[in-house]
Amino acid sequence: PAFTWEVRANDRNYHMRFKKKFAFCLTKKKYAGNAIKTAKYNIFTFLPLNLYEQFHRMANVYFVFVILLQTFPEISTLPWYTLLFPLSCLLTIRGLRDLIDDVGRHQSDRNINSRPCEILSGKSFRWQKWRDICVGDIVRLHKESFVPADMLLLCSSEPSSLCYVETADIDGETNLKFRQALLVTHQELVSEESMATFDGEVTCEEPNSRMHSFTGTLEWRGETYSLDSERILLRGCKLRNTDVCYGLVIYAGFDSKIMRNCGKIKRKKTKLDRMMDRLVIIIFLVLLVTSLCLAIASGFWARMFQEKHSYLSALYKNTTPAQQAFFNFWGFTILLSIIIPMSMYITFEFIYLVNSFFINWDLEMYYAVKDIPAKARSTSLNDQLGQIEYIFSDKTGTLTQNMMSFKKCCINGTIYGTGPGHENKQPSGSGLTWSHHGEKKLDFCDATLLEAAWRDSDPVLREFLRLLALCHTVMVEEKGDQLVYQAASPDEEALVLAARNLGYVFLARTQDTITISELGKKRTYKVLAMLDFNSDRKRMSVLVRDPQGTIRLYTKGADTVILERLQRRGPKETFTEMALDRFAEETLRTLCLASKEVSEVEYSKWSRRHREASVLLQDRTRELDKLYEEMEQNLQLLGATAIEDKLQDGVPETIQLLKLGNIKVWVLTGDKQETAMNIGYACKLLTDDMEILEEKEISSAPTTPSWHSEILEAYWVSNNNLSGSGEVLCSSRLSQPCPEASCHKKRAVIVSGDFLDKILHMGEVLKEKKGWLWRRLACCRATGPQEPGSLVEKAFVDLATSCQAVICCRVTPKQKALIVQLVKKHKKAITLAIGDGANDVNMIKTADIGVGISGLEGMQAVQCSDYALAQFSYLQRLLLVHGRWAYLRICKFLRYFFYKTFAGLMAQVWFAFHSGFTAQPLYEGWFLALYNIFYTSYPVLSMGLLEQDVSAKKSLEFPELYVIGQQDELFNYRVFGITLLHGVSTSLASFYIALWAFEDGIGSKVVGDYESFAVTVATSALLSVLVEIILDTKFWTVLSFLMVTASLLLFCLFSFLTQSIDAFRIAPAVFRFPEASRNALTDPYILLVVLLSLVVNTVPSLTVRLYRTITGKNTIQQNIRLKARQEPEPSVELRAHVPHGSFHRRSSYAFSHQEGYAGLITRGDSLRTGDTRRAT
C-alpha cells in the first residue's frame, strides 16, 4: 500500500488544503469529514432519481409509449389522461414506499451524526457532535462510549495507557480486546496543555477496508515510532473498563474502516420481476408484429375493396391504401396494447403489500419475551422468499445467544451436572459464607458437587476448583459489595463464576499475586510465572507458590494437548476421556484441567532460563515456547469442564428443515475456527459422518502458485467435461487426500478470511460491472479464454457448493459481502443473508434478501434489512410457509392474469379478419375498460392473496415442497407459452362458435346484429375465464366465493347501466350498445351458444386434470406424501457411537481470547494502583 496519508495533530488548516479528483474535472476534499450519509435521496434528487429507477421497469416505459400514442387524435381510442391517471398512481405508490424507507435512513444518520463527544478546541476539551470531528483532531472518550472515528490511541487513564475495547459491532465478538498507546505519548501527554501543544505527524496507508491491519509511523520531536493495529481504535468499538482515553483522528467518516466495509444500498429486483421485464419486451414485439401484419393486410384489403367498389371512391379520395395501412397499424397497436394491462401492476403491488402484512401479523413469528413481531420492511420481495437456494448466516448473536454457561464437569472420575433433575439449591444448613459474592442466578449448581466442595474431603476436587480460581487472566473490580469480573473471553468468565458459585472466589490480583477465598478463608498465592495462551499451544498455565510455600503448576487446555502430557494413564483418565466424548456429543466446549507439584530445585533452574529467554532479541517466542513445553510435562489430570455456547432456541431444528428444503446454509463469522466449528456441530450444520475439508486439505501443496494451479487444473477438468458431472469431478480433484471411493461422502468446507483473500485477490477481481454495455462485453468475452482470477473463484465456488456445509471464519464485513457476490455471480442463485450486527450490514445489502435479527448488537442490521425477525428459528416459517405461499400466489396470479387477458382480448385479432382489417373494436368500449378492472380481477386477486396448496403445518412437515420455487416451476417461459396458447384457444373457441351460430341463422328474436354478436363473444369469454379460475383454486374461503359472485354481479350491473336506453339518449357517442345484452341474453338460442362455448373451453382443462390423475402424474405434493408414508424421516440426533478421533476435531479449546493478556498482567501494565489514575 502507498503510504501517502499524512495526518498532523491539531492542524485543521493543513488538511483543508488537500483536494482529490472524483469525477471528470470535479474535485473534493481529500480528508473526509466525520458525518456519514447512508440515505439514497435528498429533497432535490428524490424525484429525478426515483423516476429514473422506476423507469428501469420495462412495463413503465411501455405504458408511457401507449400514453404518447393516445395523444394523437387520428389514432386515439381512449383519452390519454385515462391511462395517465393509473400510471401516476402506480408510480406514486412505489415512490412513497421508497421515500418512507429513505426517511428512516435519514433519521438513523441524524442520530449517529449527532452523538456527543469531546473534541480538543484551543487549549481545552469542548462537547461537540460526531459530525464536527475532523482528521487530526484530538478526542477524549469516556467509559461505555463508542469510538467516533478511526483513531490513534495517545494515552488513557489505565496503567501503561492500556485501553480495553469491545468490537461486537465490527466482528461480532463480545470478548474484550486491549489496545496500548506508545510509551512516548503515554509518558509525555499528561495534561490538556500537553495535548494542545502535541504536533506529531502520522504517515500511514490510504483508507482501506482491511479491518485487522494497519501500518504507519508517528514522527514527533525528530523521532519516528512505528504504528500497527494494536495502537488503533476503530470506529464502532465500545470503550470498556477504561475511564478515559485520548485519541488522534486518523480516518473520519467514510474513510473509516467500518464504513469502507459497509457497501452501497442496492435496488433489489426479484427473479420474477426480471422475467416480467423480459416478457414485456417479448409481448410488445409480438404485438408490433401482429399489428404490422394486420396493417399490411388492411392495405391490401383496402386496395382490393376500392377496385371492386369504385362507386365509393368519394370516401377514399383523400387516403391511399398505404396511408390507411399506416393509420391501422397504430390503431391495432393501441387496440391490442391492453394485453399488458396496467391494472395487473397495481394489483401486483396490492398483493405484495397484503402478503407483507400477513408476515407482520403472524403470531408464530412474534417473540413475546421481548415483544418483537416479525416485520417485512420491504414489500416487493415476498415471492423471492420462496426461491432461496443459499443462506449466509452470521454466527454470534444470530445462531448463538453469545452467552456461555458452565454446564457439566468430570472430577476424579465423577460426572457432575448430569441432568435437569438437580435443582439449583444450596445444601441446607451449610451456612455458606461466600454467598454474598454469589450470582443472583446460578446456571450450574449441582447439589452433590456443592456438598462435596463444602465437605472439602476430596483433594482432587479442591485442586480442581482452585485451578478454576487461579488459572486465568480475568480482571476484577469491586462495585459496592459486588465483585465484577472482566474477562478476555466469555468462556473464561463462565469458569471463574462457576468456581465462585462453588466457594472458590477470585478476589483480587496484583502484578505477582492472586488472592482467592476458599470456602470463606482468604488465601494469597504468589504468581511465579504465567505461561500464556496462544493458538498453537491451545493451553495456558500458571505457576504459583501457595501460602504453605509449595510450588504448583496449574494448566488448562484442549484435551488433545493435555492428555498427551499426563504422567500416567489410569482408569480415571480413561473415564475422563469417555466423559469428554460424551460432552463432545452434546456439542459442549470442553477443557481438560491438570496440575503438578514442582520442586524448588526444578523451579530455580527453570526460572533462571526463563529470565534469560524473556530478554532475548531473536527467537524469543520460540525459546519461551520450548521452556513452557518442558514445564508442562508429567501432569496429573484433575478433570474436565464442559461449557455451553448457548444457541438460540430451535436453531438445529431450523437448519435441519432448511437442509431438507434443499437450502444450503453457510456460516460466515469473524470468530476463530475452533469456536465456529463447535457451533457448526452444536447446530447440526456439521455432523459426524461428514468429511471436513480445511485449507490445507483443499490445497494439496503449501505454496500458493501450485495451489492456484491445482484449483485451475480441477476447474479445466470440470469445464471440459461435457457429461454434466463437472462439479463433482472438480470437487473431487480439489480435495486431493480423499480417494475416489469416498468422494461421494458428505463434506463440509472450513476456510478463513486469509484464504479467501488469496481467492478474491483482495476482492478487486470482483468489482461489480454495471450497465448493459458491460454485461454485453462480458457475454462476448465469455466465449474466449477467461482470466485466471475468475477461474480460481469459479473452482472454489464449485467446490463449496458441492459440499453440505461451508463455514468461513475470521472474515471481514467486506469479505462476507464478496462471498455472497461470488455465489450470485457463479451460481446465478437466489441468496439470503441473515445477521444482527453492523458487521453484517454489507452482506445483508448484497444478498437478494437481507434479514436482520433484532438482537443485542444494536439495530444497524435491522435498519438495512428487507425483513426483521427476533429469532433465527423464525426463518423456517418465513421461507417454508410465507415464502412458498407468496411465490405460489404471485405465480398463479400472473398465470391467470395473462390467461384472462389473452382469452378476452385476442378475439379483437380474429374479428379483424372479418372486418376488412380495420382497427374497429369488437367489444363495447365499456367492456374493454371494465374487463380487467371489475369483471375478472377479483377472483384472480383472491387467488393472489389467499391461495394455499397445503396448510402451514404441512408446509413445515414437508420442507421438500420448497424445491418448486427454487426450480422456477410455477412461472417460467414454458408456463407463459402454455398460458398464451390456452388463452388464444379460449378466445378462438368463443369467437368462432359465436360466429358459426350467427352465420347459421337467427334465433327467435332478431339478434343477428354486430352488437348482439359482441355481447355473445364477451359473455362466453368471461364465463370461460371464471370457470377456469374456479377449477384451479385449491383453497376456498368465504372471500374467494364472494369475489367470483361479485364478478358476475358487477358484469350484470355494469351491462345494465352502460346499455340502458336512457344513457344512450344522454350520450349516444359514449353509450353505443343500447339494450344489447338484454336483447341477446334473453334469447334461449344465444344462451345455448354461450353454454356450448363454455363447455368447449372447459372440457380440455378437465381432460388434462383427469389424465394426470389416471396416469399417476401426481403433483410433487402427492408424491411427497406417499414417500413420507413409505419411509420414516431419518433421525437428526447425533449418534452415540462416535469414532474416537472425531471429538478431537470439535472439542475446541473453549477460549476465544487473544494471546498477550498474561504478559500484561506479569508486567503489571494492566493493574491499577491508587496513584496511576490520570487526572481528567
- By the 10 Å C-beta count (0-12 exposed, 13-18 middle, 19+ buried), 64 is classed as middle
> Under a CB-based contact definition with an 8 Å cutoff, are residues 718 and 797 in contact?
no
Q: Identify residue 267 by its one-letter amino acid code.
A: R
> What kind and span of H or E run contains 926?
helix 925-930
Element (H, E) at 517: strand 513-518
CA 957/CA 1128 separation, integer angstroms: 12
**Three-class SS of residue 433?**
coil
Active site residue 394: yes
Sequence-distant (6+) residues with CB within 8 A of 412 are 458, 460, 461, 464, 572, 638, 639
Cα dihedral 36, 236, 760, 213 in deg (nearest 10): 120
The answer to whether the beta carbons of residues 798 and 727 sit under 8 Å apart is yes
Supply the DSSP symbol for 516. E
The span from the CA of 659 to the CA of 663, in Å, is: 5
Distance between CA atoms of 63 and 84, rounded to whole angstroms? Answer: 9
Q: Which residues contact 746 (CB under 8 A, 6 or more apart)?
A: 687, 689, 690, 691, 804
Residue in 883, 791, 874 with CA at minimum distance from that of residue 830: 883
Q: Find cell 384489403 and name the residue.
A: 301
Q: Are 847 and 832 in contact (CB under 8 A)?
A: yes
Contact residues for 312 (Cβ-Cβ < 8 A; gap 6+) = 306
Say how far apart CA 1052 and CA 559 lie, in whole Å. Answer: 82
Burial of residue 1126 (CB within 10 Å: 0-12, 13-18, 19+) is exposed
Residue 805 CA: distances (Å) to CA of 80, 749, 815: 57, 6, 18
Rounded Cα distance, 344 and 894, in Å: 8
Question: If you ran DSSP here, which 8-state letter would residue 916 be given?
Answer: T
In DSSP terms, which residues pair with 493 in a beta bridge? Answer: none
User: Which residue type is seen at 203?
Assistant: T
Residues 607 and 617: their CA atoms lie apart, in Å, by 18
- Are 1003 and 1086 contacting, i.e. CB atoms less than 8 angstroms apart? yes
Cβ contact 426:450 at 8 Å: yes
Quote the CA–CA distance of 330 and 567 in Å, as a whole number: 96
Cell triple for residue 305?
Answer: 375493396
Given a contact cutoff of 8 angstroms between Cβ atoms, the answer to whether 728 and 802 are in contact is yes
Q: Is the sign of the CA dihedral 853, 856, 859, 860 positive or negative?
A: negative
**Of 257, 259, 396, nearest to 809 (Cα)?**
396
Listed in sequence order, the DSSP H helices in 435-532 are: 447-455, 459-470, 490-501
Q: What distance in Å separates the CA atoms of residue 893 and residue 348, rounded to the nearest whole number?
A: 8
Could you count the other beta carbons within 10 Å of the beta carbon of residue 310?
8
Pairwise CA distance, residues 901 & 905, whole Å: 6
Strand partners, 554: 542, 595
The active-site residue out of 98, 102, 394, 559 is 394
Query: Per the structure block, which three cell numbers stand in for 1005?
Result: 328474436
Residue type, 557: G
Are 395 and 679 in contact by the 8 Å Cβ rule? The answer is: yes
With beta carbons less than 8 A apart as the criterion, state whether 905 and 339 touch.
yes
Query: Which residues are catalytic, by number?
Result: 394
